[in-house]
């Protein structure tokens, strides 16, 4: 947070670029970074490339916020979000680009994503709940928006240590 690139509107990836060695290498770097960090998603601007490209990978299974379905590693090129129902719910979000903090953010919980996959195929995906929040957090990075911009109440911004100590037992959690 503070790097100007994180506040830029990222540019679309062109069809020609998509199959290039440079983009392929960037995606590989993003996957390594995401897995090193142990997060669920990463956007290209977070590793210094102002491109509309993000990856998401969710390990399923029982968690403190219920049983989650796995989402295998997926590459989202030029994604567009449409809100299908504006009703919101909140989660405690974290971010690789805002280390050491968590904040409570409310977002719409039913969205559709239109995107291009790594092979250049157009696809769409309908998402609810936790998944809808994860995707909105990641794709915000492509518009230069960080979750801290979306806090309704700055009193719900915490350090990770205090979060774990005082809030985690009863809280939902998003790790990015
Ligand atoms: Zn983030």
**Which one from 126, 138, 160, 162 is the annotated catalytic residue?**
138
| pLDDT of res. 175 | 58
Using CA atoms, how far apart are residues 99 and 2, in angstroms rounded to an integer?
12
Using CA atoms, how far apart are residues 62 and 42, in angstroms rounded to an integer?
23
For residue 25, the tally of other CB atoms under 10 A from its CB is 10
The predicted-structure confidence for 24-73, as pLDDT tens digits, reads as follows: 999 999 999 999 988 899 999 999 999 999 999 998 777 655 677 889 99
| pLDDT of res. 172 | 62
The predicted-structure confidence for 133-158, as pLDDT tens digits, reads as follows: 999 999 999 999 999 999 999 999 99
Task: Count how many domains the chain has.
Answer: 1
CATH number at 160 reads 3.90.45.10
pLDDT at 174 > cutoff 90? no
Going from the Cα of 39 to the center of ligand 1, the distance in angstroms, rounded, reads 9
| pLDDT of res. 95 | 95
Buried b (16+ CB within 10 A) or exposed e, 59-86: eeeeeeeeebeebeebbbbbbebeeeee
HEC string for 42-76: EEHHHHCCCECEEEEEECCEEECCEEECCEEEEEE
The predicted-structure confidence for 77-135, as pLDDT tens digits, reads as follows: 999 999 999 999 999 999 999 999 999 999 999 999 999 999 999 999 999 999 999 99
| pLDDT of res. 60 | 79
| pLDDT of res. 132 | 96
| Cβ neighbours of residue 50 closer than 8 Å, sequence gap 6 or more | 5, 8, 10, 11, 44
Strands (E) in 59-140, as ranges, are 61-63, 66-68, 71-93, 101-116, 122-128
Going from the Cα of 167 to the center of ligand 1, the distance in angstroms, rounded, reads 20
pTM: 0.92
| pLDDT of res. 173 | 61
Residue 162's domain spans which residues? 4-175
Going from the Cα of 98 to the center of ligand 1, the distance in angstroms, rounded, reads 7
3-state secondary structure of 147: helix
| pLDDT of res. 13 | 97
Going from the Cα of 136 to the center of ligand 1, the distance in angstroms, rounded, reads 10
Going from the Cα of 120 to the center of ligand 1, the distance in angstroms, rounded, reads 25
17 is catalytic: no
Going from the Cα of 137 to the center of ligand 1, the distance in angstroms, rounded, reads 6
| pLDDT of res. 69 | 84
Beta bridge partners of 10: none
């Amino acid at each position: 947070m503070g790097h100007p690139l994180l506040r830029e509107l990222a540019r679309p990836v062109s069809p020609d670029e998509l199959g290039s060695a440079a983009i392929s290498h960037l995606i590989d770097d993003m996957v390594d970074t995401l897995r090193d960090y142990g997060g669920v998603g990463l956007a290209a601007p977070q590793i210094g490339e102002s491109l509309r490209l993000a990856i998401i990978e969710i390990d399923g299974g029982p968690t403190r916020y219920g049983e989650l379905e796995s989402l295998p590693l997926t590459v989202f090129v030029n994604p567009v979000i449409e809100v299908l129902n504006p009703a919101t719910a909140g989660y405690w979000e974290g971010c690789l680009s805002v280390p050491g903090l968590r904040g409570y953010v409310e977002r719409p919980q039913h969205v559709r994503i239109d995107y291009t996959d790594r092979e250049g195929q157009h696809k769409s995906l309908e998402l609810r709940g936790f998944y809808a929040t994860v995707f909105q957090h990641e794709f915000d990075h492509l518009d230069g928006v960080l979750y801290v911009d979306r806090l309704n109440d700055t009193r719900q911004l915490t350090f990770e240590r205090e979060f774990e100590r005082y809030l985690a037992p009863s809280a939902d959690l998003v790790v990015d």
